[in-house]
Structures are given as C-alpha cells and as structure tokens.
C-alpha cells in the first residue's frame, strides 16, 4: 500500500456504534468508506432463529464476502485514504470464537475456519489505526432496538458480553500505537461537538 495513504479500521460488536462512527469519520476526514454489508449474508436471519444450525454458514459467508470485497477494493487501498467498517480479524477473533463458547460451532469447525482465515490474512492490508468502540451493554441493547432489524430482537445479553470478552482478549495483544479505544459512555456521536472531538482525536493518533 502507498505510504502516503492511510487505512483506518473500526471494530466493535453489533450495536456498538461502529458503522455510525465510520460514516462520521469518512465525512469529516474525507476518507473513502468501505461499508459493512450484512444484507449480503443470506444466513444472517436464519442464524438468529437457530444459531447452532447456521453458525458455521454465517461465519464462512461473512469471511468469503469480506475477502472478495477487499480484493475489489485493492485499487482504493493503494490510491486513497480508506476507512473500513469492521476489519476481517473480527470474524475469527470475536465472532467465530464466541460461537464455540456458546456451543454453536465445534472446535474442529473453528480450526477449519481458522485455516481459511489465516490463508488469506497475509494478503490483506493491515490498518494504520484500529479504532475500537467500547460500548456499555445497556447502550448496545438500546441501539440494536433502535435500528429495527427484527431478526436481532431479543438477542441474549450473555451473547453480547461474550463478544465483548473475546474482543478485549484480541485487543490485549494488539499494539498500543496502532489502536484507539473509544469509550462510548463519554462520547455521544449524535452531537456535533462530540463528532468533531472524535475526528480530531483520530487525526492526532494518525500523525
């Protein structure tokens, strides 16, 4: 990737506000935005109805869609400043591991998933900065309800807490100079002032 370009990835579990944060930064910093596209995953709605039946399907579909998308965006990574809604690492480090914890995937299935993930990971650009939305559970639940995806209604808070736990484990080994943790209980991304402070903080971290 051209050293003059910058690549920011935004991580956070479902309902954490990462997509909102990505849109704000893309607008404020004039970055090209790679959006997350849950509608592209045909197994997502069935997954929330029967997690053990569809967990491996939903994970593999997400992973392969992401790989194909990043391949299509290769030129933009090389020529533009890019912000991505959810880095590919989250699929394995957070979501796939959570499926095993809940008994939705076996350890053997996770190992197959890991092998596919690692076989492609070295081909994908690594972020100059990882921004992580650290969002309280009560706010996550409210935001899930507000966005109105019926298939997400009634998601188990224990499931959300487990996602957060694996996210925190992943972050422990992530370089401090390459990550920015955003405490959502101290910042309201609906307020103009907070949006500006958020964008300024990100720019300073990139310098």
Rounded CA-CA distance 164/176 in Å is 18
Please report the domains of the chain, with CATH numbers, ordered by start residue.
Answer: 7-206 (3.40.50.300)
Confidence of residue 2 (pLDDT cuts 50, 70, 90): very low
**Distance from chain centroid for Cα 29:** 19
pLDDT at 1 over 50: no
Question: Please, how many CA atoms are within 13 Å of residue 92, restricted to the half-sphere of its CB?
Answer: 19
pLDDT at 81 over 70: yes
Nearest Cα residue to 85 out of 172, 162, 152, 12: 12
- pTM of the entire predicted model: 0.93
Which residues participate in the annotated binding site?
12-20
> What positions carry a catalytic annotation?
85
Beta strands 129-134 and 82-85, pairing class:
unpaired
């Amino acid at each position: 990737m051209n050293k003059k370009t910058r690549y920011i990835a935004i991580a956070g579990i479902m309902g954490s506000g990462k997509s909102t944060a990505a849109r704000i930064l893309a607008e404020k910093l004039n970055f090209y935005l790679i959006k997350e596209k849950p509608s592209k995953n045909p197994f997502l709605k069935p997954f929330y109805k029967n997690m053990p039946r569809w967990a491996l399907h939903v994970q593999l579909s997400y992973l392969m869609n992401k790989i194909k998308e990043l391949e299509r965006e290769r030129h933009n990574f090389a020529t533009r400043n890019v912000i991505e809604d959810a880095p590919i690492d989250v699929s394995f480090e957070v979501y796939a591991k959570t499926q095993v914890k809940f008994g939705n995937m076996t350890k053997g299935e996770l190992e197959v998933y890991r092998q596919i993930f690692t076989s492609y990971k070295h081909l994908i650009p690594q972020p100059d900065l990882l921004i992580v939305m650290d969002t309280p559970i009560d706010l996550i639940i409210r935001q899930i309800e507000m966005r109105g995806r019926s298939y997400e209604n009634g998601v188990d808070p224990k499931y959300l807490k487990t996602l957060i736990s694996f996210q925190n484990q992943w972050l422990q080994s992530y370089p401090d100079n390459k990550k920015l943790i955003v405490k959502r209980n101290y910042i309201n991304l609906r307020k103009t002032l907070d949006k500006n402070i958020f964008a300024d903080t990100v720019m300073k971290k990139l310098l």
